[in-house]
Amino acid sequence: MVSDETQAEYRPTIKDLPIDERPRERLAHAGEGALSTTELLAIILRTGVGGESVLDMATRLISRYGGLPGLARASFAELKAEKGLGPAKTAQLKAALELGRRMLLAAPEDQFIVRSPADVAQLLIAEMAHLEQEHFRVLYLNTRNRLLGIETVYVGSLNASHIRVSEVFREAIKRNCAAIIIAHNHPSGDPTPSPEDVEVTRRLVEAGKLLDIEVLDHLIIGQQRFVSLRERGLGFVE
């Protein structure tokens, strides 16, 4: 007979589940779309550790890092230090997350439609939040707000006197874009707009009107946070 204490310590593993409830088998029969994020992550991690099932491990990691965006932002060293994640599992996890990010960019016209500032932030924040220098990027959109591509135009401190309108809009003109979104990061982690940020936005919005290419927004990326200058009414005059 199993004691209450032993029962409290017992945690089922994947092998203890009925075959049709195991993540890999469910994926094969029901398709990946039927699986939860926890189950998909468990498939990547493959095995648990020290009395913790792989599903429990996946749940713990998702909770601790605030979901997939948080896991994507975490460094290799941070993840490798987690219980049950050695170099091999950490590499598998980082590779899977990077493949997901690249898929969005590989055929963005089929994959990504911008509906809100949060959509853009979700696409950019995992990478840009950890850059040590400011990167100024332009997102190119068609008339239906489908993403046509992303280009880094400047690297270094954002200075209104250094930003050339022609550089920002050159690719947009080539692609015959209807609109662009501009974004840059603050390496300090604080996305609060500076007067310089507002001035750059104002200049580009005015230039866009002359070129008939709308500047939909300017996002500033910080650590796990972002600011939309359009939402704050900074640099945009209706």
- Find out whether 124 and 146 touch, Cβ atoms under 8 Å: no
Would you state the pLDDT for residue 7?
A: 45
Residue 132 and residue 214 in one domain: yes
Examine residue 237 and state whether it is found in any structural domain, yes or no.
Answer: no
In 145-213, DSSP assigns E strands to 147-155, 179-185
CA 98, chain centre distance (Å): 10
Mean pLDDT, the chain, rounded, equals 84
How far is the C-alpha of 238 from the C-alpha of 233, rounded, in Å? 9
**Domain of 46, in residue numbers:** 4-106
Of 24-38, 111-125, 163-177, highest mean pLDDT: 163-177
Residue 115 and residue 83 in one domain: no
Q: 80, 106, 132: which is the final residue of a domain?
A: 106
Can you give the CATH number for the domain in which 30 is found?
1.10.150
Cα distance from N-terminal residue to C-terminal residue, the chain: 75
Residues pairing with 90 in the sheet: none
Residue 135 and residue 31 in one domain: no
Give long-range contacts, CB 8 A cutoff, 24+ apart: 155-158. Answer: 158/134, 158/184, 158/196, 158/197, 158/200
Q: Does the global pTM surpass 0.85?
A: no
Residue 145 and residue 44 in one domain: no
- Total domain count, the chain: 2
Examine residue 238 and state whether it is found in any structural domain, yes or no.
Answer: no
Q: What is the strand order of the sheet 147-155 is part of?
A: 147-155, 135-141, 179-185, 214-221, 226-228
Q: Closest Cα to residue 58, out of 41, 75, 82, 79? A: 41
Q: Closest Cα to residue 121, out of 14, 237, 231, 228? A: 228
- Find out whether 59 and 75 touch, Cβ atoms under 8 Å: no
Residue pLDDT, tens place only, 96-150: 888 877 776 665 545 578 889 988 998 888 778 878 889 999 999 998 898 888 8
